[in-house]
Structure formats: C-alpha cells, structure tokens
A = this chain, B = another copy of it.
Amino acid sequence: MRIGELARRAKVSTRALRYYEEQGILSSERTPSGQRHYPESAVDRVRLIQQLYAAGLGSRMIASFLPCVDAKHAEPEMVERLRAERARITASVAELQEAGRRLDLLIELAAYPGRRRCPASLDEQSRTATG
C-alpha cells in the first residue's frame, strides 16, 4: 500500500511516516518513480512504534529495539537496556497512578465540598510521615 493508506489505517499523518523512515524505524520499498510502498505488516509496525513513543521512548531507543523485535533475539547488553526501559515504564505507571489518586481526591473535595470525610489534604502525602 502507499503512504496515504498506511497513514489512514495506522491513524498517523503521512508526515509522521516519513519522519519514522528518516529516523530509521520504518522502511519502505520504492517504486521506480520513487513512491513508497508498504506491506500489510507495516500497519502493526506503526502501531507498535506509536505505543513505544507513548511509553516515553525516543526514536533512537526505538530504532535500537526494533531489530530485536524482528530477530526475537538480543545481546545481553541490549537485554539490560530493555529491562531498564521496562523499569522506567513501571515507575512512570506508579507516578501516573499517584497523580490519578490526587486528582480523585481533589475531584471528591471539589465536587462535594460538604461531604468531606477524608481529613488528608491534597498538599500532604497521606502515606508518608516525613515532610
């Protein structure tokens, strides 16, 4: 398929697809006239790329990981980097969840100002005593 169809199906812009190619994380065949052609698998590949971006990985990191995805193999050093990124994601999930709890608390207080049962302030950490 050509770039426009891939863009629609993967729900990204054509600009993004060209950018991915520029960054070495998405390849394409070229017709004699120079137009890009992609296989069906490119749709899933682009979705994977988007997911990794959403997980906070940069282009370089993704570029270094994708070959392992295809080879289903990696050197120990690479495995370590994978684990490190995995840990980063875990930490970042925890941060997000805590921010979520804080927002929940705020919503509860803000929406139902009369019913406040929880004595904890939003400015204080309810589970740690060390200011």
Please determine whether B100 and A55 come into contact, CB atoms closer than 8 angstroms. Answer: yes
Interface of A is mostly: helix
* Chain B, residue nearest A57 (CB): B99
Determine whether A123 belongs to the interface, using a CB cutoff of 8 Å to chain B.
Answer: yes
As for how many copies of this chain the complex holds, the number is 2
A49 to chain B, nearest CB (A): 11
Please determine whether A123 and B41 come into contact, CB atoms closer than 8 angstroms. Answer: yes
Please determine whether A107 and B83 come into contact, CB atoms closer than 8 angstroms. Answer: yes
Kindly state the separation between the CA atoms of A13 and B1 in the bound complex, as whole angstroms. 49
Interface size in chain A (residues, C-beta < 8 A): 48
| B-side contacts of A124, CB under 8 Å | 44
Kindly state the separation between the CA atoms of A131 and B102 in the bound complex, as whole angstroms. 38
Indicate the member of A74, A95, A98, A100 with the most B CB atoms within 10 Å.
Answer: A100
Interface set of A (CB-CB < 8 Å, partner B) = 40-41, 43-45, 48, 51-52, 54-55, 65, 68-69, 72-74, 76, 78-79, 82-83, 85-86, 89-90, 92-93, 95-100, 102-104, 106-107, 109-111, 113, 116, 122-125, 131
